Amino acid sequence: MTAAETHIEASDSAAFARIVQARRSIRAFLPEPVAPEILEAVFAEAARAPSNCNTQPWAVHVASGAAIEALRQRLPADFMAGKMRMDFPYDGKYEGVYRERQHAAARALYDAMGIAREDKAGRHDAFMRNLTFFDAPHVAFLFLPEPFGLREACDLGMFAQTLMLGMTARGLGSCPQTALSFQVDQVREILGVDPSLKLLFGISFGYPDPAAGANACVTERMPLGNLVSFHQAPSA
C-alpha cells in the first residue's frame, strides 16, 4: 500500500481508541488455535511498525502444535532444576514509584485470581503458568539479530505493541512475558533458532478464556499530567 492509497476515516480514531483501551495482558486462553490466515495477517501488519533507518531489526519465531507442547513440557522442569540463561540481563528489581507500580500490579492480578498475599504456593503456581504460556495455543519469541542492542530493542518493542494491537482488533488476547527469555537455550534447541539471534521476550497469544479470573485484571495507568510535559514557546 502506498501513501496515496492510505485513507483514514474520522471513525478510525474511535475504533483505534477502543482497541487500545481493550488491550491488556491475558493470562488464560482457550485451546482453540488461531487460523493460519489470521496469524499471517497480524504479523504482516506488525511489520509496518517503525524502526530506525527502516532496519526492521526483528526476528520472530512462532510455536504452535507439537512445538509449543514440547516447550510446555520442557521449560517448567528445567526452570525448577535451575537451568536458566538469558541473552539480555534482567533482575526485576525496581525502586521508588516503579516498585510501587510493580506491587500494585501484582496485587491486582492476585486479587483477580483469588490468591491471598500469604499464599506463597499459590503465587508460585501462578508464576509457573508463565512457562506453560497460560495454556495458549501459540507463543511468539521475539529476537534481535546480532549485534543490535538498546536502540534496536526499542524498535522491537514498537513491533510488539503493533502486533498485540492487531491481535486485539481480531478478538485475540496476548501477554508479553519477560519470563519467556529466562531459558533461551531450550527455546533455541527446540525451535532450531540460530545463536546469532538474541531473545528479548515472548508473547503468549490466542483466544481469551472469558471465565478465568486472571483475565478480569486491569492495571492502573498514571494520569497524563504525570506522564507528559507539554512545552510551548514563551509568550512575546
pLDDT averaged per 10 residues in sequence order, the chain, 236 residues: 66 92 96 97 97 96 98 97 95 91 92 91 93 98 95 97 98 97 98 98 98 92 92 77
Residue 15 has a pLDDT of: 93
Output phi, psi for 57, to 5 deg: -85, 60
- Residues sharing a CB contact under 8 Å with residue 184, sequence separation 6 or more, in sequence order: 85, 86, 87, 198, 199
The reply to whether 7 falls in a domain is no
Output phi, psi for 144, to 5 deg: -110, 130
The reply to whether 222 falls in a domain is no
Domain containing 186 — which CATH number? Answer: 3.40.109.10
Q: Give CA–CA dist 155/200, Å, rounded.
A: 12
Q: Do 79 and 129 contact (CB within 8 A), yes or no?
A: no
The reply to whether 98 falls in a domain is no
Number of domains in the chain: 1
pTM of the model: 0.93
Residue 7 has a pLDDT of: 76
The reply to whether 12 falls in a domain is no
Angle between the 96-113 and 120-128 helix axes, to the nearest 10 degrees? 90
Work out whether the CA dihedral 39, 45, 50, 51 comes out positive or negative: positive
User: Which structural domain range is residue 189 located in?
Assistant: 25-91+133-212
Residue 6 has a pLDDT of: 67
- Residues sharing a CB contact under 8 Å with residue 139, sequence separation 6 or more, in sequence order: 62, 63, 68, 71, 133, 180, 202, 203, 204, 205
Residue 77 has a pLDDT of: 97
Residue 5 has a pLDDT of: 59
The reply to whether 85 falls in a domain is yes
The reply to whether 63 falls in a domain is yes
Q: Give CA–CA dist 198/188, Å, rounded.
A: 10
The reply to whether 163 falls in a domain is yes
Bridge partners of 59, per DSSP, are 143
Read off the DSSP letter of residue 134.
G
The reply to whether 175 falls in a domain is yes
